[in-house]
Chains A and B, each alone.
Chain A
Amino acid sequence: MPVRVTIPTPLRSYAGKLDSAEFSAATVGEALSQLTTRFPDLRKHLFNDEGKLRSFVNVYVNDEDIRYLANQSTPTKEGDLISIIPSIAGGCSR
């Protein structure tokens, strides 16, 4: 199933500056796996060492958080939009 994954601004430098990429995937997990295969530098920003999504990164299928669906097993259908929404805080460090 062709699905599009949006790449958030803070992570675009690890994904060849792209703001989104298309994959053929049946679940969210498959799409993210293909994403991090194509852009290996993204992996450590999205997943911890045990392969779980880092808790300051949320993933949505269309407008629903996958934590309230089936997490990475959430099935996807053609035309779904998978959004990666990391925590942002604006930003100051001296």
Chain B
Amino acid sequence: MASTTQAGTGMKPAASLTNDEILRYSRHLIMPEVGMEGQLKLKNAKVLLIGTGGLGAPLGLYLAAAGVGHLGLVDFDVVDFTNLQRQVTFGSSDVGKSKSAAAQARLSNLNPAINVQSFETQLTSANALELFKEFDIIVDGTDNFPTRYLVNDACILLGKPNVYGSIFRFEGQVTVFGMPGGPCYRCLYPEPPPPGLVPSCAEGGVLGVLPGIVGSIQAMETIKLIIGRGDSLVGRLMLFDALGMKFRELKLRKNPHCPMCGTSRTIKKLIDYYEFCGVRGEESPASIMQVPEITPRELKARLDRGDDLYILDVREPHEFQICNLQGHLIPLGELTRRVHELDSSREIIAHCRSGKRSADAVDFLRKAGFRKVFNLKGGILAWSDEVDPTVPKY
């Protein structure tokens, strides 16, 4: 067991490694780039992981394996069955458990020599500064824009490095923000996209191993910062394209006029990030258009009655193959181009997986002059729940 645990407890930094630690980390110690000095730096490092999901999984596993002495895990979510495709810290028996607690158990088992602290809480403007201040490095493994801006701003205000990684389907981005003289997230993207514009993993999908690769790169960057070796990704935006198996690097400059980290910064405290991102701040951040709706039960009743309804499915072809209501498939991205295929004299019921894309479709059609068009509330998921459980959910 570790002799002196340190970090976050106000105790003195460790001055040596135990014999067990020397054996455990021998493959680090025999490298001149790490050695005893580097391993001690790892032991005395305090790293906070924001998010224990797809990115957080390899991050936690590799930082724990490397001997980072104090790891904090921030996540308020519970393990969902659909997470297991990529969140490899968890097993089937963890479904339903708190993610941060399950990750803490896994990482402590991997390396009992370190201290793993679980923060089962939502990161907010009210708690971020207090939470961050005990740690040396913050690693952003989150999955939404408001939190990314919050993490960035809190790191800049506290002077902490922020190892950033993000993914979408089969592409990823990694860089390091918050270093002295280096850029911050707002230098790269001053503003977020409006909610609903960029699909989530649930809507756009993601190759499970992609966050494994991107999160591992974040772990590598974190370790390099701790041991002070190699060239970090400060000022460099690394792009990864998994399908093409290509890495690219773009220059990421510090914006001298950045409101957060520029010479005449205007942001001096944390703000309401949900408002900044145009989101209401409830559990489901993406806002759904307010359009006329029909529930699955109502639709079923009308179909059984023989009403003449045109079912418009605005999902993608590969979703149609998973399950469908035998609707007419016009993917949302093609609707503008193919609207002439629809007959505005007919009553149209639009649906997608969960009701968001189809709400956009209904809004578009109403603005195009269609009067008898309704959104299937809750989409095919709700149809499965309320009308026909043999329809698989995905």
**A83 contacts the other chain (CB 8 A):** yes
Report whether A10 and B168 are in contact in the complex, using a CB–CB cutoff of 8 Å: yes
Given A10-B168, A41-B337, A60-B250, are A91 and B192 neighbors across the interface (CB < 8 Å)? no
- Residues in chain B near residue A94, CB distance under 8 A: 202, 283-284
Report whether A90 and B193 are in contact in the complex, using a CB–CB cutoff of 8 Å: no
B4 to A: closest C-beta gap in Å? 37
Given A10-B199, A56-B193, A63-B251, are A87 and B144 neighbors across the interface (CB < 8 Å)? no
**B191 contacts the other chain (CB 8 A):** yes
Interface residues of A in 41-79 (CB under 8 A from B): 41, 45, 54-56, 58, 60, 63-65, 67-68
The listed residue (A56, A67, A92, A93) touching B192 by CB distance below 8 A is: A56
Nearest CB in chain B to that of A60: its residue:
B250
- The number of chain A residues with a CB under 8 A from chain B is 28
Report whether B250 and A88 are in contact in the complex, using a CB–CB cutoff of 8 Å: no
- Residues in chain A near residue B148, CB distance under 8 A: 89
Interface residues of B in 70-116 (CB under 8 A from A): none
**B331 contacts the other chain (CB 8 A):** yes
Given A13-B333, A45-B197, A55-B191, are A90 and B54 neighbors across the interface (CB < 8 Å)? yes
- Residues in chain B near residue A83, CB distance under 8 A: 248, 250
- Residues in chain A near residue B285, CB distance under 8 A: 93
The contact string, 1 if C-beta is below 8 Å from chain A, for chain B 191-206, is 1110001111111101
Report whether B250 and A91 are in contact in the complex, using a CB–CB cutoff of 8 Å: no
Report whether A63 and B250 are in contact in the complex, using a CB–CB cutoff of 8 Å: yes
Report whether A87 and B202 are in contact in the complex, using a CB–CB cutoff of 8 Å: no
Closest 9 CB pairs of A and B: A13-B333, A91-B200, A88-B168, A92-B143, A55-B191, A93-B286, A90-B143, A56-B193, A87-B189
